[in-house]
Amino acid sequence: MDNSGKGAAPHVLLWPFPGHGHVDPTLPVAAELVRRGLHVTVATTERFAEAVTATGAEVLPYASALAGRPLPEVFDPDYLAREPLRAMIEAIATVPPIRSHFQHRQPPDLVVYDSSTYAAARVAALTWSRPAIQMFPTFASNEKWQLGPWIKDEFAPEIDEHHPALLEFFYCMGELLSGYGLDDIDLERFHAPCEDHNLVFLPKFFQLGNEFFDDRHEFLGPCLPTNSGGTWQPPASGHPVLVVSLGTEKNKDTRFFHDCAQAFADLPWHVVLTLGGGMTVADLGPLPANVEAHQYLSHAEVLPHATALVAHAGMSTTMRALHHGVAQVLVPHTPEQHFVARRAAELGIARLLPRDQVTAHAVREAVLELTSDDRARTRIHDLAEQTRAAGGTERAADLIQTRLEGRP
């Protein structure tokens, strides 16, 4: 889009949930929009301010009570019933600082928001009379298919529809809307599972229920940075690289990393452990000579060199590995991760290893079996090509510009 001679550049507000699995796919899109001459603001927490600034976008900081919180060991029905209410309480707290930022300036021309920030973002867009696009960093939703009922049926079938937290959720939603003069908004429409325009950061073949999705949802595959900006290099030995990760959030499962390290201690593999925020490298004790451990190491640096990945089945990590054609052994923890792992296993590109079955022997056997399976290697190669062809960052930027220009 050529903005010369047309006044200020179009302004896009990107509003991901402030967690790595949500922010990471958004940053390359922000960088590409900035490269095209757009004014981009990213609403996020201070934790991601440096990464946002590096894209050339403006940071709109706010506090989040949900981001980075420790997750329970067991997702029982009461915890799951309270999740929507926790998100709505966060929305009520988030809208004021976002709106205050634009109190004495023109609001953005377009709001592009995460499915996990929908309530606050929709209120902001409505009060500004601005169009919106919804982003899905994980499985998308529409009127015919949503992940929530699947999670309920499998993990919490006994949730009472009259659970106090569910009733309070709708009360808080009404309070949120009335607080901004939106009393006349239809609650069902406000709570709709998607917008008329939606960006999905996975290829369509990976989407559960993909036959129910029309062209309102653009399945882009992962949006990845053009370069890692890092210095990590594979070993000079030429041994295959195995990456082990439970994500970047807090986890304290030192036994998991210890088992994975010991599983390959006597094999010609090079193992890279990325720990996240719940432990330090020192907590692991002595490691085999063919194992290196990092508190944090960008997967953008190491996955292009990897043969296999043992991970938690976070969608962002799973998609990045698929993009690079990496075989995956998935050890899910959250209900959503169980469905990601199951889908990857159904497609023949991963093996699902239940967390309570993780041992050094089980990890070793799963990795060696998958990486020596000719059919699996072919399947991974073919679906990696389809993933890379889905459009990614450039397609996302194209669609955002199309929406800015008012074209359908």
Q: Are 380 and 349 in contact (CB under 8 A)?
A: yes
Over range 3-25, report the average pLDDT: 85
The Cα 319–Cα 137 span in angstroms is 10
Summarised one tens digit per residue, pLDDT across range 294-342 is 998 999 999 999 999 999 999 999 999 999 999 999 999 999 999 999 9
Asked whether residue 271 is domain-assigned, the answer is yes
> Of 17, 18, 12, 47, which is closest to residue 32 (Cα–Cα)?
12
Range of the domain at 75: 11-221+391-404
Residue 233 half-sphere exposure toward CB, CA atoms < 13 A? 5
pTM given for the model: 0.94
Asked whether residue 285 is domain-assigned, the answer is yes
Please give the pLDDT value at position 406. 84
Residue 136 half-sphere exposure toward CB, CA atoms < 13 A? 25
Q: Which residues pair with 112 in a beta bridge?
A: 14, 133
Q: Are 175 and 194 in contact (CB under 8 A)?
A: no
Please give the pLDDT value at position 3. 40
Asked whether residue 103 is domain-assigned, the answer is yes
Looking up residue 357, the CATH number of its domain turns out to be 3.40.50.2000
> What residue spans of 253-359 are helical by DSSP H?
254-263, 299-302, 315-323, 335-346
Summarised one tens digit per residue, pLDDT across range 208-226 is 999 999 999 999 999 998 8
- In this structure, are 188 and 268 located in the same domain? no
- In this structure, are 23 and 123 located in the same domain? yes
The Cα 321–Cα 301 span in angstroms is 12
- In this structure, are 198 and 213 located in the same domain? yes
DSSP one-letter string for 156-216 = -TT--TT-HHHHHHHHHHHHHHHTTT-TTS-HHHHT-S--SSEEESS-GGGSTTGGG--TT
Q: Which pair of tokens denotes residue 337?
A: 């991760």
- In this structure, are 177 and 277 located in the same domain? no
**191 or 68, greater pLDDT:** 191
Asked whether residue 382 is domain-assigned, the answer is yes
- In this structure, are 212 and 250 located in the same domain? no
pLDDT higher than 70, residue 407: no
- In this structure, are 396 and 383 located in the same domain? no
DSSP label at residue 226: S
Is residue 125 helix, strand or coil?
helix
Q: Which residues pair with 114 in a beta bridge?
A: 135
- In this structure, are 199 and 211 located in the same domain? yes
Asked whether residue 302 is domain-assigned, the answer is yes
The Cα 91–Cα 99 span in angstroms is 12
The Cα 240–Cα 386 span in angstroms is 24
- In this structure, are 149 and 277 located in the same domain? no
> What residue spans of 264-327 are helical by DSSP H?
299-302, 315-323
User: Could you give the percent of the chain with pLDDT greater than 90?
Assistant: 84
Gyration radius (Cα) of the chain, Å: 22
The Cα 329–Cα 367 span in angstroms is 7
Asked whether residue 233 is domain-assigned, the answer is no
- In this structure, are 139 and 277 located in the same domain? no
DSSP label at residue 92: H
Summarised one tens digit per residue, pLDDT across range 97-128 is 999 999 999 999 999 999 999 999 999 999 99
- In this structure, are 209 and 133 located in the same domain? yes
Asked whether residue 77 is domain-assigned, the answer is yes
- Give residue 24's pLDDT band: very low, low, confident or very high (50, 70, 90): very high
**Domain total in the chain:** 2
Summarised one tens digit per residue, pLDDT across range 340-379 is 999 999 999 999 999 999 999 999 999 999 999 999 999 9
- Return the residue matching tokens 């106090």: 164
- In this structure, are 296 and 161 located in the same domain? no
> Of 12, 391, 318, which is closest to residue 138 (Cα–Cα)?
318
Q: Are 16 and 22 in contact (CB under 8 A)?
A: yes
Non-local CB neighbours of 225 within 8 Å, separated by 6+ positions = 27, 28, 31, 300
Asked whether residue 96 is domain-assigned, the answer is yes
- In this structure, are 196 and 308 located in the same domain? no
